[in-house]
Amino acid sequence: MKFAELARYLQKLEGTRSRNEMTVILAQLFGQANPEDARLIAYLSQGRLGPAYASPDTGVADKMMVKALGPEAEKLFKKRGDLGLVVEKLKNSKLQKLKTNLDIKEVHQKLLEIAGTGGQGSQERKQELIRKLLDELDAVSAKYAVKIILGKLRTGFSDMTVLDSLSWMLAGDKSQRGEIEKIYNVRADLGEVAKQIKQTKNIKQIKMEPEIGTPVLMARAERAKNPGEIWARNGRCAVEYKLDGLRIQAHIMKSQISNLRSQINSKLKNSNIKLFSRGLEDVTHMYPDICEGLQKQIKHNCIVEGEMIAVGENGRFLAFQETVQRKRKYDIAAMAKKVPLKIYLFDVLLLNKTDMTHRTNMERWEELEKLVGPGRVVKLMPRIQIETEIEIEKYFKQALAAGTEGIIAKKLDGPYQAGARDFNWIKYKKSYTQSALADTIDAVVMGYDAGQGKRAGFGIGDFLIGVYQPDLDGFVTVAKIGTGLTDTEWRELKLKLQSAKTQNKPENYKVGKQMECDHWVSPKIVVEILADEITRSPMHSSGYALRFPRLVTFREKKPEDSTTVAEIKKMVKLQQERR
């Protein structure tokens, strides 16, 4: 497929606000593509050069792009404020005849070349590569190439809409979405999923298994209102500590048997360990001590999951605020000495070449016990097997005394359900006993208002938060928060807001008039919020409002993994039952 054809589809997508219409347009686009083009379209249509967890940054900002486009661009940019529109205007004014008509693969390769250019003189070389690429594109194609290079393509849909569109391509409706999502959950590379579907055209024939180097969407736990509910649902089960740390999925390649390294070397970038956060971010470089521990203590190729946390000299688990200090881009070695971490493993998803996700929890735990060798960094999650309801309550108290936030109960015969939240895992936290609200809420920051008085110094008066509504593939509001943050938290929030700021309200935001904001941000910032209770509210587009909401911390999650409207409704029900 020619890149010009993709550009025409991107123009259609930018011109619609209807989620269903976007789905149909994408289905048509994927329907016309061959398998390899479908893989690249899945990335490029969202402004990425690769899967979300491994998409290279081009390293090109507005200033460099203006230089690449020439002297006329600066004046036009001041008027239009969009360099995509600027290059389109410049190309149309020249009316030059194109000598080439690049296909999607050729453009993608040139974009990768721009991203891979570094070292001394790299800015000038990047500018030259940009000029050469744009010379070979028509006006509309150049507009979207520039938006992709700058990271400013705003098509208004997420991975979930792409999954809907692949179902629509196959069946003319969303009936296949559930099966396609199961494939994506096991191997979260949207391009690879699209390619496999195009190759087979029958999702029942697709067998996706965990692969070292590609993250698996993490399983999640449902909530229980008390230990009695855990016992009623699970009976005899395993109960583990629920640590308030950073959840990590570690991909470890120890051997070079067969062609394993050649298959995944590019994904691991010549390293034999990769660490992925809950939000599928590659955070390997931030935790050299954890990587060293995994290297020493684990002797097999595997994918394991656990919780990283700081531990005091007395053996007590420290607060999340201590652990999160380690998430940084700079001074990594110094901070590793100041705040050393341990990782407590609780699951194994792949062992050598065996997919473990379909094995029972008990079988996976037994393999994990054999997998972890002696050492100071890598530990097994504290866990017992309970036989009575009373034991659940006792272990809960023991967990709290150790500095945890509660417990997680797991069915002994349960599989690992990638990306799913169900009662195979049930969490019960200390916070459930302290408030009418059944749990904290993971919300997405949608926008903010300018500050006044003292708050003017931060540039924020309050910020709007929302939760995910899957059927819209969008976000609906639940609260505006203007109090309860420290000065440090306000400053941190402002930095995050600046990097996510967008000119217009994103198309997948549903916001009532009373909740409109001075400034809007892309759905990138996830915050953990505690509130006294949830009430019904006609002012909020979710239909619910948080009473006395306050920030607990920033969370490393994909926006689509934030609390959903359905979960809010469940929490309201639990809240009512506890009164």
CB atoms within 10 A of CB 502: 15
- Give the span between the Cα atoms of 103 and 97, in whole angstroms: 17
CB atoms within 10 A of CB 226: 18
Q: Would you say 219 and 417 are in contact if contact means Cβ atoms under 8 Å apart?
A: yes
- Give the span between the Cα atoms of 214 and 251, in whole angstroms: 8
Q: Select from 511, 460, 508, 516 the least CA-distant residue to 156.
A: 508
Q: Select from 427, 395, 397 the least CA-distant residue to 410.
A: 427
Active-site residue set: 242
Question: The tokens 């979300």 sit on which residue?
Answer: 52
In Å, how far are 245, 346, 362, 385, 396 from 392, measured between CA atoms? 22, 18, 18, 9, 6
Q: Which residues contact 284 (CB under 8 A, 6 or more apart)?
A: 271, 273, 274, 275, 291
Q: Would you say 546 and 534 are in contact if contact means Cβ atoms under 8 Å apart?
A: yes
Tokens of 136: 């070979």
Q: What are phi and psi of 255, to 5 degrees?
A: -110, 170
- Give the span between the Cα atoms of 139 and 93, in whole angstroms: 10
- Give the span between the Cα atoms of 203 and 4, in whole angstroms: 30
Q: What is the rounded end-to-end Cα distance, in angstroms, of the chain?
A: 60
Q: Looking at beta carbons, which pairs linking 124-131 to residues 24 or more positions away fall under 8 Å? A: 126/58, 126/59, 126/60, 126/64, 126/68, 127/64, 127/67, 127/68, 128/68, 130/60, 130/65, 130/68, 131/68
Q: Select from 263, 346, 258 the least CA-distant residue to 307.
A: 346
In Å, how far are 36, 47, 165, 306, 479 from 42, measured between CA atoms? 10, 9, 11, 30, 33
- Assign residue 316 a region: left if phi > 0, alpha if psi is -120 to 50, beta otherwise? beta
